[in-house]
Amino acid sequence: MSNPNFPEIQRFEPLPDQRHSWRTAFVGDPSGATGPTTPERWFEPAASQGTAFGGTPPTTPSRGYGRGLVGVLIAASFVGSIVGAGGTYLALSASGSSDSATAASASSGLARVGIQSDTSTVIAALKQVGPAVVQISTDDGAGNQSVGSGIVYDSRGWILTNRHVITGAQTISVRLADDRQLTGTTYGVDTLTDLAIVKVDSVAGLTAAPIGDSAPLQVGQLAIAIGSPLGLNYPNTVTTGIVSALGRDITVPSDNPASSTSVGLHGLIQTDAAINPGNSGGPLVDASGQVIGVTTAQASTAQGIGFAIPINIAKPIMQQALAGEKLSRPYIGVTYELIDLGLKQRQNLPLGQGAWVHMDDASGNSAEAVTPGSPGDLAGIKTGDIITKVEGQTIDPLHRLEDVLVQYPPGRTVSVEIYRAGGYITLKVTLGTRPASTN
C-alpha cells in the first residue's frame, strides 16, 4: 500500500549533537548547551509621514456677479467636503479601521492613521488548545535525553505524540502547561505513521484539546503550531503561518538506531508555521481553535517548510486507545501508484484517476504488485488493476487509497471497485492487520 514515487527529504531539524539523525532531528540538546542567542533587535516599518498641501487663495473677481459665483462654488465645495468626510467616516466605522486612527504630534498638526494586525483569532485559538499541550521528556537509560511535545486529547490522561519522540525511552516525563510533572507510559505506537499514544494518570484539571477535522482543509488557511522548540526552556511556544500544501509525501530516517532504512510518510500537511526541534508531537491548529494535525518534521535544506500528520489519520488509533484496544491499522497488501494526468499519459492508462496496482523492480521492470496471501490477493485484486472506489468513495489525489482505508478497522469487509480489461467489477476485501514492518 506504499507509494514509492515521492520525493526524499534527507534531513530534518539538525542539532549540533551527533546522535542518530532521527533523534537529533526532533529533540532538544541533551548536553544542556545554550540555545541560539536572541536577536538583539526587531525591526518594524516606520510609520509613514503625512504631507501638508497648501495653495494660494484665488483672486477675488472685481465684478459683483463674479463674487456671487465664487461664493456659490465655495459653498458647494464646503458641502461636498462635509458629505465626503462623512462617507469616509462611515466606511471606516463599518470596517473598524477608524478605531485604529491616532492623532499626529501637536507640532506637525497632521492626521495619521495607524493600522494594526488583529491577533484576536490566534489568541482565542490558543486559549482553547494551549492548556492541552504538554512537554514530553525522555531518557533511554544510557544518558541520552530528548524533548518533544504532545497533545492531551482525553482528560483521563490520554496523550497523542510522535512515535520518534518516545522510541527507545526507558522513562517518560510529561510536563503540563501549568508546570506540573507527571510520569508517562507508552500505550502503543502506530504501524502506519509517526504517531504514538502516551498514558498518564488522570489528575484534576487535566484539559483536553478540541479535536477538529482535517478533511476540509484548504491551502492558504491559517495554521498555528504550538510546541517546545529548543528543549525544556521554551514550552508552549507559538508560531503562525498558513497551510502551504496538502497531500505531501516525504521520506525520513527510521526511528530504529540500528537501521539505516528510511520510512515513508504520506498525505501530510505542509505549513510555513515555524517548526523546530522539540515541536514534534505538538498540535497544528486552525483559526477556530481545533487541532487539525500533529507536527512531525521540518526540512533542513529550506526555510518555511514543515509537515504535520492530518488529525483524521490519527483518530482511529486515538479511539482504539480509549477503547483499550491494541493499536492497529488496516492492511490490503497491494503496491500502487496514484494516477494523475501525467501518469495517465506516460503509461497510456485508460483512466485519469484511481490507484494503479503496479510496481517496478530494481531494474525498472514491472513486478508483482499484490502480496501473495494478502487480503487483496485473497479477494482477487491483480497487478494492473485500477482501484477506483472503496465503499463508494472515489480514489483521487485528495482521497488516496491508504487515507480512505485507514478509517476502517482490521477485520472489516469493504467493497472495492476495480477497473479491469475495459470494465468495472466490485470485490469484497476483508482487511487484515498491517504488519509493523510494512512501510
User: From the candidates 21, 149, 164, 403, which is the catalytic residue?
Assistant: 164
| 3-state DSSP of the chain | CCCCCCCCCCCECCCCCCCCHHHHHHCCCCCCCCCCCCCCCCCCCCCCCCCCCCCCCCCCCCCHHHHHHHHHHHHHHHHHHHHHHHHHHHHHHHHCHHHHEEECCCCCCCEEECCCCCCHHHHHHHHHHHHHEEEEEEECCCCCEEEEEEEEEECCCEEEECHHHHCCCCEEEEECCCCCEEEEEEEEECCCCCCEEEEECCCCCCCCCCECCCCCCCCCCEEEEEECCCCCCCCCEEEEEEEEEEEEEEEEECCCCCCCCEEEEEEEEEECCCCCCCCCCCEEECCCCCEEEEEEEEECCCCCCEEEEEHHHHHHHHHHHHCCCCCCCEECCECEEECCHHHHHHHCCCCCCCEEECEECCCCCEECCECCCCHHHHHCCCCCCEEEEECCEECECCECHHHHHCCCCCCCEEEEEEEECCEEEEEEEECEECCCCCC
Question: Contact, 381 vs 335, CB < 8 A?
Answer: no
Which of these is catalytic: 137, 228, 280, 328? 280
Which residue has 478509517 as its cell numbers?
407
**How far apart (Å, rounded) are the C-alpha atoms in residues 343 and 323?**
42
The single residue of 29, 194, 255, 403 carrying the catalytic annotation is 194
Beta-carbon count within 10 A of 389 CB: 18
Catalytic, 399? Answer no
How many C-beta atoms surround the C-beta of residue 373 within 10 A? 10
Phi-psi region of 96 (alpha: psi -120 to 50; beta: other; left: phi over 0): left
148 has which bridge partners?
136
Q: What is the spatial distance between Cα 340 and Cα 335, in angstroms, rounded to a whole number?
A: 16
Note if 194 is an active site residue.
yes
Q: Which residue has the cell 500500500?
A: 1
At which residue does the C-alpha cell 472506489 appear?
389
The question of whether 29 is a catalytic residue gets the answer no
Q: Give me the active site residues, please.
A: 164, 194, 280
